[in-house]
């Protein structure tokens, strides 16, 4: 039976947060992904990621990940709802396709937001076409949630910066053509002393120190900088603006992490419905039991609640409003909710649910990191409470 008819999976596109252009985009991408993107992967994630970036670029989807119509972007400012419907749709079809799209945006986001015209000209059109792969290098072994603790240094020597230190958990590490690297340039103490630099792969003094294998495989690496000289023309924005730029970049993409979680959850609900209505037991089907119906009801309610929060945040951002609290709520609700939905779907599949490369088994692994990166759940909780308490102050 066709899973696509099961959960009225595109009905949320009619919600008033979206416009016709988003509906058209989602439907066209869904049709494209059905034809071009496989849910299972053959094991060589580097090759698969490169191929996905190539085909997403060739088909024109990557232009939504880049800001600036003069530089290959679909719009001058990245449309949050567009990247949300794209990530939700791709995640439903393939975690790796969603990853490939998202990293092109996150990796080039600082350039879209604050790059000099020459930097935009050099990097953004290639990102949008899928000719260059991008990476965002902020985290370090001792600076994850606590970004301001980062120690990688950028010493200014004449018209160059010299980078020394390490970055870790860098997605696309090892296959990226360029990395946006945040380092301590010491214009001021703490977070006001960081700057962002574009480092091309192959620059002397820059190495991929270690590839990292994770539960849902994708290219990931620890990077090492050892006297790596970068012309100051590769610095994005002014010295000391790196922290703000990193936060602005994450702010654009945080709501889209929630959207990716929705895509995984939607696929899990489809799989749950498929199994519940076809698995025969005790002279009926699994779906005939009220315990199963209660589970399905909870899954659908959790999913719609998270989707409403996600598209509220995206709508608010596209209307120029502050979304610090709303984006944090969306990421928290969607990633935690998706984990519960996927777990319930896997349970319905019984033993088959834990067989390698079954869709629910894959989703079970794919969702996990979303509760950690771009601000762990606990960090989102702190942001929400801080914003609420701030609003109470006179």
Ligand X SMILES: Cc1cc2nc3c(=O)[nH]c(=O)nc-3n(C[C@H](O)[C@H](O)[C@H](O)COP(=O)(O)OP(=O)(O)OC[C@H]3O[C@@H](n4cnc5c(N)ncnc54)[C@H](O)[C@@H]3O)c2cc1C
Count of residues in contact with ligand X, rule CB under 6 A: 19
Our finding on whether 71 is near ligand X (CB under 6 A) is no
Stretch that binds ligand X, among 67-75, 261-269, 327-335, 372-380 (CB under 6 A): 372-380
75: helix, strand or coil: strand
Task: In whole angstroms, give the CA distance from residue 292 to residue 317.
Answer: 38
- Going by the DSSP 8-state scheme, the letter that residue 150 receives in this structure is -
| Residue 356 main-chain phi, psi, to 5 deg | -50, 135
Task: In whole angstroms, give the CA distance from residue 213 to residue 338.
Answer: 23
Our finding on whether 26 is near ligand X (CB under 6 A) is no
Query: Using an 8 Å Cβ cutoff, are 26 and 294 in contact?
Result: no
Our finding on whether 379 is near ligand X (CB under 6 A) is yes
Query: Using an 8 Å Cβ cutoff, are 258 and 333 in contact?
Result: yes
Among 136, 179, 315, 349, binds ligand X (CB under 6 A): 136
Among 170, 258, 328, 345, binds ligand X (CB under 6 A): 170
Q: Closest CB to ligand X among 17 and 253?
A: 253
* Residue from 50, 132, 63 nearest 99 by CA: 50
Our finding on whether 201 is near ligand X (CB under 6 A) is no
Our finding on whether 144 is near ligand X (CB under 6 A) is yes
Q: Is 374 a catalytic residue?
A: yes
Q: Closest CB to ligand X among 310 and 335?
A: 335
Task: In whole angstroms, give the CA distance from residue 394 to residue 392.
Answer: 6
C-alpha to C-alpha distances, 312 to 185, 202, 318, nearest whole angstrom: 37, 42, 10
Among 19, 374, 378, 387, which one carries the catalytic annotation?
Answer: 374
Query: Using an 8 Å Cβ cutoff, are 218 and 99 in contact?
Result: yes
Our finding on whether 171 is near ligand X (CB under 6 A) is yes
Name the pairing type of β-strands 134-137 and 178-184: parallel
Q: Closest CB to ligand X among 215 and 391?
A: 215
Our finding on whether 179 is near ligand X (CB under 6 A) is no
Helix 290-318 / helix 242-278 crossing angle, nearest 10 deg = 150
Our finding on whether 4 is near ligand X (CB under 6 A) is no
Among 28, 208, 376, 384, binds ligand X (CB under 6 A): 376
Helix 80-93 / helix 95-114 crossing angle, nearest 10 deg = 160
Q: Closest CB to ligand X among 178 and 349?
A: 178
Q: Closest CB to ligand X among 7 and 172?
A: 172
Our finding on whether 169 is near ligand X (CB under 6 A) is yes
Q: Closest CB to ligand X among 110 and 272?
A: 110
Task: In whole angstroms, give the CA distance from residue 251 to residue 231.
Answer: 28
Span 212-241, contacts to ligand X by CB under 6 A: 214, 220
Stretch that binds ligand X, among 13-21, 168-176, 285-293, 337-345 (CB under 6 A): 168-176
Q: Which residues are annotated as catalytic?
A: 374
User: Which residues would be at the binding site for ligand X (CB under 6 A)?
Assistant: 136-139, 144-145, 169-171, 214, 220, 369, 372-374, 376, 378-379, 382
């Amino acid at each position: 039976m066709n899973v696509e008819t099961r959960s009225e999976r595109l009905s949320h596109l009619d919600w008033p947060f979206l416009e016709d252009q988003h509906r058209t985009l989602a439907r066209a991408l869904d049709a494209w992904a059905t034809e071009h993107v496989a849910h299972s992967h053959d094991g060589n994630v580097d090759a698969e990621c490169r191929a996905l970036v190539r085909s997403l670029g060739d088909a024109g989807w990557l232009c939504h990940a880049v800001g600036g119509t003069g530089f290959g972007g679909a719009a001058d400012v990245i449309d949050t709802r567009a990247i949300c419907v794209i990530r939700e749709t791709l995640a439903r079809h393939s975690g790796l396709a969603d990853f490939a799209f998202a990293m092109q945006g996150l990796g080039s986001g600082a350039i879209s937001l604050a790059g000099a015209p020459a930097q935009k000209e050099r990097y953004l059109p290639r990102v949008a076409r899928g000719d260059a792969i991008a990476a965002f290098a902020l985290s370090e072994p001792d600076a994850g949630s606590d970004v301001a603790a980062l120690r990688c240094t950028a010493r200014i020597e004449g018209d160059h910066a010299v980078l020394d230190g390490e970055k870790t958990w860098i997605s696309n590490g090892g296959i990226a053509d360029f990395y946006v690297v945040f380092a301590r340039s010491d214009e001021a103490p703490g977070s006001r002393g960081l700057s962002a630099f574009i480092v091309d792969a192959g620059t002397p003094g820059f190495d991929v120190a270690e590839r990292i294998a994770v539960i849902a495989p994708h290219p990931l690496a620890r990077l090492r900088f050892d006297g790596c000289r970068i012309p100051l023309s590769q610095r994005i924005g002014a010295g000391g603006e790196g922290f703000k730029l990193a936060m602005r970049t994450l702010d654009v993409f945080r709501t889209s992490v929630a959207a990716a979680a929705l895509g995984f959850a939607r696929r899990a609900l489809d799989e749950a419905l498929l199994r519940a209505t076809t698995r025969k037991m005790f002279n009926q089907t699994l779906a005939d039991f009220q315990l199963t119906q209660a589970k399905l009801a909870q899954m659908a309610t959790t999913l719609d609640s998270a989707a409403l929060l996600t598209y509220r945040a995206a709508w608010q951002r596209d209307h120029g409003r502050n979304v610090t609290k709303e984006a944090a709520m969306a990421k928290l609700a969607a990633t935690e909710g998706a984990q519960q939905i996927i777990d319930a779907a896997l349970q319905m599949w019984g033993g088959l649910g834990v067989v390698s490369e079954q869709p629910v088994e894959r989703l079970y692994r794919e969702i996990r990191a979303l509760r950690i990166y771009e601000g762990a759940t606990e960090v989102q909780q702190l942001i929400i409470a801080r914003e609420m308490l701030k609003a109470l102050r006179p």
